Structure 1
Amino acid sequence: MAFDEAVHPDHFSTLRRTPFPHTLIEQQLMQMGGGGVAGSTFRKQVLLAAGWPHDGLVPFAKHPQLASTTFNRIRLLLDGHSQPDTLLAALAA
């Protein structure tokens, strides 16, 4: 899935009818990780590898600039990496 829309800091404090790109990215990561607990664990690993240092209790809206930078980094790599291990390796590079 291609994510053409960039993630902006105001996405974390705004509501709209269509999902924001970071929501779609999170859904894609959950699917890549196998769904359920495994998918959630994979999503957390990717967010950490992409630069999000906070645990799941800290909302993205608390640090919107860092969150948008993190999600945009993931967004740019998702097109070329459809396997979980290659995505994590690309984020580590």
Structure 2
Amino acid sequence: MASQSRKGGVFLPERRAAKAEPNILTKLTQSPIVSRGKRSACDAVSVTKKLIRSTGKAAWIAGTTFLILVVPLIIEMDREQQLNDLELQQASLLGAPPALP
């Protein structure tokens, strides 16, 4: 039993010595083409993350600017239109000729 490792109540066999000749999978993963592809993929991921982050910041700036500048303008224009409609309705009820816009 001294040759077997014990972990969590289960006896595990000792690890075998590594083979001298690597298999096809290790040859492929260690090739320069694969390493260049991995490097390119990592670069693409980092560029994509930076692009998403900057796009999010731009969207935040555009959204807050819209809320601060454009929404009050839209509300004021709507109030003005309602006031004009009310004046036109009152003028028609009083019998005055409607004014041309």
TM-score, with normalisation over the residues of structure 2? 0.20
Comparing both structures, which one devotes a greater share of its residues to helix? 2
Comparing both structures, which one devotes a greater share of its residues to strand? 2
Higher RCO structure (Cα 8 Å, ≥6 apart): 1
TM-score, with normalisation over the residues of structure 1? 0.22
Find the structure with the greater CA-based Rg: 2
